[in-house]
Amino acid sequence: MIKRKQYILENLIYAVIWLIMFIIPLAGYSFEGSIHWNDVRKFWVRLLPFVILFLLNNYLLIPKFLFRKKYLLYIGLLLLSILFLFIAGPIVTESLNPGSYPKKEQIFRKNDGNHPGEENRPDHGKRISPYEKETPPFAKKISPQDEMKPMGPPPPGDRKKGPPLMQFPKRWGPYLNGLLMAILVSGFNIAISLLFKSIKDAKQLDELEKRTLRTELNYLKAQINPHFFMNTLNNIHALIDIDGTKAKRTVVELSKLMRYVLYEAEKPLITLDKEVEFIENYIALMRIRYTEDVEITSIYPQAIPYIQIPPLLLITLIENAFKHGININGKSYIHSQMTIEDEHLLYSVVNTLPTDPISTTGMGLDNLRKRLELLFGKDNYMLETYAGNGVFIANLNIPVKT
């Protein structure tokens, strides 16, 4: 749809330009309220080769050769078209129809009755070129002695000039002017076409980047779901042999989480209260598995504002804490806190580190960093992690609009 609108706009610009060119002679050859249509038609006839050149260049040469990077072939065909339309074509037409182009006129003098005695002149009936000077009948005869006398500086028109570097016959003037104008018209045509092509390429590149972004985000989100459910199913598997009743309750809590993932996580944005509800359901699921030896606390704003964030963004920090922060042989804790300040959401998760850490190549935090960079850009978010003194701290700061 966008390409079609751009194509229509480009052709509309061309149509307006050529319409103006055809209207100009109507005003230029209008005198005393009447239009000299003969001069207007002559102007339109002289304009016709330029129209043909434009149509050939814009709809054939540029899309078929210039845009396909066949530059030498394009230049060659364009020059051949110009030479044919503005040099070879007019010359052939002139040779076939000599009377159609101006030549040196030959003037025949004859007695029209207004100059009596002219028929007795010796040059009567003689062909005289307009470039030859006629001796007036009253000119004074100059003797050879007078010819030797200096007559003062010659008139400006009779002064001798040096040979020009290049001298074209006068008949070539219109051809050269048409050639230069054709090159100018082609240049404007190329400039406008390249301008619209650059706009189209920029839009296509922007659309491709957005499509790539959506694809990558969907890929990362698809990795989160299996990763999350794998950990949850492992928890249920461990509970089946320990406490069947807890295992059943775990399945119920898991169904709530699956409902969120199926119907809410596919949306680009969700409200913060639904994300908090999802986190609390996950924590409730984890409480079934772990005993009172694991201290779990969560602090949220007293009134959660109506703001939207990308789904499955905060759960990664909680899931990482449960996966790597539980000390089987001693006390463990997981503390989380959420605050909203100056249109920024701050989420902090602190958990203990096990005495015997398990080497793992988990993808949770790595995927979270990639998603944050794609969603907010490199400089518009903050994710800091710290591990030491038996604790692991993760602080997340993302922009939100309240």
Using the 3D structure, point to which of 48, 70, 104 is the last residue of a domain: 104
Domain count, the chain: 2
**Residue 226: what pLDDT?**
64
Cβ-contact 351, 341 below 8 angstroms: no
Whole-angstrom Cα distance, residue 57 to residue 77? 9
Whole-angstrom Cα distance, residue 316 to residue 368? 7
Whole-angstrom Cα distance, residue 121 to residue 262? 115
- Are 257 and 379 found together in one domain? yes
Does 58 reside within a domain?
yes
Does 316 reside within a domain?
yes
**Residue 264: what pLDDT?**
73
Tell me the residue range of the domain where 336 lies. 208-399
Using the 3D structure, point to which of 104, 138, 170 is the last residue of a domain: 104
Does 302 reside within a domain?
yes
Which candidate, 283, 340, 278, places its Cα nearest to that of 306? 340
- Are 379 and 237 found together in one domain? yes
Instruction: For CA atoms 365, 367, 370, 374, give the dihedral sign.
Output: negative
**Angle formed by the axes of helices 364-376 and 315-324, to 10°?**
160
- Are 216 and 99 found together in one domain? no
**Residue 128: what pLDDT?**
46
Q: What letter would DSSP give residue 88? A: I
**Residue 398: what pLDDT?**
94
Largest interatomic CA distance in the chain: 145
- Are 228 and 85 found together in one domain? no
Which candidate, 108, 90, 86, places its Cα nearest to that of 100? 90
| Structure token pair of residue 373 | 């960079």
Number of H helices, E strands in the chain: 10, 11
Does 339 reside within a domain?
yes
Using the 3D structure, point to which of 71, 104, 137 is the last residue of a domain: 104
Whole-angstrom Cα distance, residue 341 to residue 252? 36
| Structure token pair of residue 141 | 């005869």
Does 349 reside within a domain?
yes
Whole-angstrom Cα distance, residue 398 to residue 382? 7
Question: 10-residue block means of pLDDT along the chain (402 residues)?
Answer: 77 89 82 80 87 91 88 90 80 60 44 48 47 47 50 52 44 70 87 86 74 59 60 74 77 78 77 90 79 84 89 85 78 91 92 69 72 83 89 93 72
